[in-house]
Structure 1
Amino acid sequence: MDDLPPGQVVTATALIRHFAVHSRQAMGEPIHIMNHGHVGLTLLATDLFQRLASGRQCSSGPDHPETQLDILLDMIPTQVILTDRDLKLSRINLAARRRFGVSEKQVLGVPLAQMLAGSDSHSLLRALERVRDTGIPEAFEQNAAGPPPLVHRVQAAAFPGGFAVLADEIADRVTLRAQDARIAAYEDLIDRLPGLARGTFNVRAIVTDISPALAELVGTEKSRVVGTRFATLFGASNRGTISDAVEELLTVGKPFGMAAALVGGRPDGQTVWVNAAPLLSADGQAGGVFMMGTKPVGISS
């Protein structure tokens, strides 16, 4: 955070909740968006950016758009490299200079391939060649060597007088994609096991999602279960115990497990087992996840 360019830092949740306020603030300064403790995106007013970019040919000076554009580009975490038509560097912002360990004076007018020497530059140079031949922008993900291992989303496009290369570090997003894939695989596995059902409830203990198996277990349609209070899925004799356990889960994060009878009772006369655990988000607890199924043989109520 110490080397973050000047600007206001807000969480992704705060940005969503107060977007109108932060979008107005972005007219005067960058709004850095923090997600999972890292800043990977910055909100800038498009009108301001375009207005500054249109002054590219103005003479230099602290009050001229060209100088102001340089300042703005140095404020954002996106790596920005601009080249002329011969792929010689014409502009490189602070984020890119830090990544490659160069100063602006060292690389201005230098062929891009020379600055990238020693890095994994083949994909980028080939992409720029295709952009130069077709005029069609390209985007791809690229692994960056060195500790810690990084992943960048790279965009290459034609730019007035040359080409633009933008790169954003997305290791966190790649990690989240991998986690989402694992979660989806586990859910698919659970849904394929006979007599096993799953679902979620929010901080008010309202059921927000269930698997098809749970609707079958309860003996009704999914639409009639989602939106109901979790404890109401169980018979009167267990409802109070379930309610107390859910309250403790939502207040102190304590998981629970027990045998209970579903409301109305199962046709075969069996109770079910139910286990629940807290569902945590970046901003704190967001509710709970639960599983239930036919009570295993040998377990008493």
Structure 2
Amino acid sequence: MRHDPVRAESVTVSATHFVRHFSELRRNAERGPVYIENHGKTGWALLSAGLLDALAQGATGDVMAREAERRFDALMDALTTRVLLLDDDLRLIRANAAARRHLGIGDEALGAAVTALLPRQHGELIGDAVARTRDSGTTESFEIDSALYPARALRVVTMRMPAGVALIVDDLGDPGALRSVTAEIGAMATALRALPASGFGSINLRGAIDDADSSLVVLSGAAPAQLVGARLGTLFDVATRAVVNDLIERALGGGEAGSTHAAMLLKGENPRPVTIALAPRRGRQGIGGASFVIVAGGDRGAA
């Protein structure tokens, strides 16, 4: 039988009464605590083992729930993404640190309608999106210009969750600057392809090629399928492979850019002297790989 401490029936008796009527009170302890008074002060209580276990489990559950909530808050606050959790009435029940900083809000905002917390320019647009997600369960994603921070773009995602909606906002940065960087990278790639006998690509953290430009295909004489997935070091002869692998290790392990001379293996030909340059590719989570350029020419084996 499971005992519910919330509905427990308790009685209070004197110490003398407890001694004289122990058998009866023992049965009462199955339903609720028996408090024992001595000289008008309650100092003891009799509980059945089942009722005591139920009380202990309830207390343990509360502690675990509070600890889980504390860890969830810490995880939320560690995110750079802005996250607002809304109830089914689209009122705020939790906002992580990034969202609070972005909107300039504190605990006083809890319980407020989400549209009241957002800039007027976007309140209706985002409010309609979270309402549609609540009603249909469909995730929505769209981009807007930030109303609070000029020249910043935001990606907004609305997701259904139990008894509410999650509003997730990522800062995409300055779209103009992003377009400028993209154009610069494109121009650099075009310039590299214009170099005679050169090729470029990128490797992942295992040192395997994950992107092989068409120029690398021409330089190596290998098919794209043969290059992608192959370890970069295997493109070079045994005599110079060690220095290339060392260059790769310094880039991926230490974040160091560098270059070296080596001899590149070519299908049906003698190894070709080349110079290879490598630079780490950094992201939000740290080094995620490296980019490389190979140009024909150089002293074979020289570092």
TM-score under structure 1 length normalisation: 0.50
The structure with the largest alpha-carbon Rg is: 2
TM-score under structure 2 length normalisation: 0.50
Where is the helix percentage greater, Structure 1 or Structure 2?
Answer: 2
